[in-house]
Structures are given as structure tokens and as C-alpha cells.
Amino acid sequence: MTERDAIDELDFRLVHALEIDGRAPFSRIASVLGVSDQTIARRFRRLRTAVGLRVVGVRDAEMRDRDNWMLKLRVKPDAAEAVARALAQRPDTSWIGLTSAGTEIVCSTAFSSAGDHDELILGKLPRTPSVTDIRAHQLLHRFFGGPASWFGKDFGRDKALDATQIAALTPSWTHQEHDEDEPDGGGLPVPGDEPLLRALERDGRTSIADLAAATGGTESATRRRLDRLLRSRALFLDVEFSTEALGYAARAILWITAEPRALETLGRALARQPEVAAAMATTGESNLVAVIVCRDSAAVYRYLNESLGRLDGVQRVEVSPVLRNVKQHT
């Protein structure tokens, strides 16, 4: 990144604003941050290039009738890229990362049926010669991640928005109660929502006019349906960007074995820690999976030694450094 592309306080606050409301108009963000609309639009365009900033719609798998799994695959080093790319083409994978010197692939999946699960885990992967080991962990409970924003926990805490700014940016639909008896499926996705969902998965900031054109409905009906989906959390807006470009170069997946009696307490404690971007209870050899983001490897060590190390009930921790994302949500 050149000096011209250096990230400053306004950039951090813009990203934080988008984490609060990924569809907030530039005019509202500009008003809250005390700059012009043109400045926010220009910064957004620059950050798209500099840090890969984009807003995408994500279907929350916990709100759907799907089984969610984390797969940890050990592969031959010369085949890791090809296997990861093949997995990325599947619609039931949402996140794929290369870990541990490129000899491991970690993959997040959401299976809609037992047949889909068996086809991948019992069928294709075991028959792939370059895959030497498969560990499958079903996600049982999410302590943190998904719709919950991690940015405000640690990223530039001295640059984060204050409570008044956060309140001004919080979308109105968050204050409304979700009613499952609402017409048109309430807040849960129905087959007729597919054009809307696919458009938002491509670009979460797609205008209401363009969304209405994609769905064939009116703008008012499209806006109401989008608000219902967001309010129910069946759909949420995720802000994607390069953590490394923002000064956080070390990411790792922690496979934690916790004492059964301490599982809930540990999960909640992990959710509160600023380094933790996601924490889930799972099946398998380990029963907790956490994703951490730190500034560098020294910060990872301090986290393991100090923050995680002081928590009671941790029996064993396996650390998988994340080298690169192959797929993120879409």
C-alpha cells in the first residue's frame, strides 16, 4: 500500500459506520462524521481498491433449516489451491481459508440435507487422492460471529464511533419487533425472495430501485420485504475488507478442547474478548472453535498466553494460522 493509500481515522470510522448499517446512505454517514457526501463517496471508492472493502448480504445459516459444519482438511501441499478452489465453487460453502503453511484447508459449510452432507464428507472428499485427512465439526451453538460486528471490539478502538454516532447510524428496523405471523413468510426467506437475496449477495448496497427491478416488485414492497428479512436476522449485511491492510496481519483458528462443565462459560468469555471474531461450540475432537485477529504473531502469542491462558476450563488448544482467504461468504 502506498503512502497515498494509507488508512487514516476517517477510513476507520467509515468502515465502522458500514458495520452498523451497511446500507446507510453516504449522506447520512457524512452527516454523522461531519464531512461532505463527496468525501465519503470518494473514501468508499478508494477503500474498495486499497482494502477490498465491500458490503454483502449473507443468509444466516442458523436461521435456516441447515446443518452447519467446519471442515478441516489436510492436503498435499501442491494440491491445496486446486482443492480449495473446487470447494469454493460449491454453493453450500461460505468461507474457505488456507492454513498452516498451505497444508490445511478450513471450510465452513451449510448443508440443506443429509444427502448433501454425505455427498461431500462421505463421498467426494474421501475419494480425492490429495486429501489425506478429514476432520468434521458440526456447529452446535454460536457465541459470537454472524450478524454480530467484531470491528468495534478491537479495530482502532481509539478511532471507533462514539455512542451518539452509533445511535444516529443504527437503522430503524433494529428497534422493531419481529413478528413471525407477518404476511409473505414473515422474516424467514421464501422461494420468492431468491432474486432479492442473490442481488444482495452480489452487492449489499444495491439500490431499492435496482432490487425492485430484479424482483419484479414495487420499490415500497421491496423495501418492506428487505426490512423484514434484516429485522429477523435471517439476512444480515457483512462488511468485507482486508484485515492486513488495516494493520491486523495475523489471523488464526483455535481448536479448543474445553471441560464440558466449562463450555458455556468459556464460550461467553471468548465472545467478550476483543481479538475474537467468531466463537462456536462444536462436535469433534475439540468442542470450541474460535477465530482471532491480531496485529502480528507476537500479539497472537500474548493472546494465547494471557487472554486465553487465564480462562479456566481450557484443556488443549490447537492453533491454525490463516494464510489466505479463498472464499468469503459469496
Strands (E), the chain: 54-59, 67-75, 93-99, 104-111, 131-144, 235-240, 250-258, 276-282, 288-294, 314-328
- For 68, other C-beta atoms within 10 Å of its C-beta total 20
pLDDT at 42: 97
Quick check: do 61-141 and 247-325 share a fold? yes
CA atoms within 13 A on the CB side of 54: 14
pLDDT at 3: 43
Per-residue pLDDT of the chain (330 residues; tens, 9 = 90+): 454 457 888 998 999 999 999 999 999 999 999 999 999 999 999 999 999 999 999 887 665 556 889 999 999 989 999 999 999 988 888 889 999 888 999 999 887 666 667 677 767 888 889 999 999 999 999 999 877 667 766 555 556 788 899 999 998 766 555 455 455 556 788 889 999 999 999 999 999 999 999 999 999 999 999 999 999 888 999 999 888 888 889 999 999 999 999 999 999 999 999 999 999 999 999 999 999 999 999 999 999 999 999 999 999 999 999 999 998 864
CATH T-level fold of 247-325 = Alpha-Beta Plaits (3.30.70)
CATH 3.30.70.920 fits 61-141, yes or no: yes
pLDDT at 59: 83
pLDDT at 170: 92
* Cβ proximity of 279 and 143 under 8 Å: yes
Domain parsing of the chain, residue ranges: 3-55+158-231, 61-141, 247-325
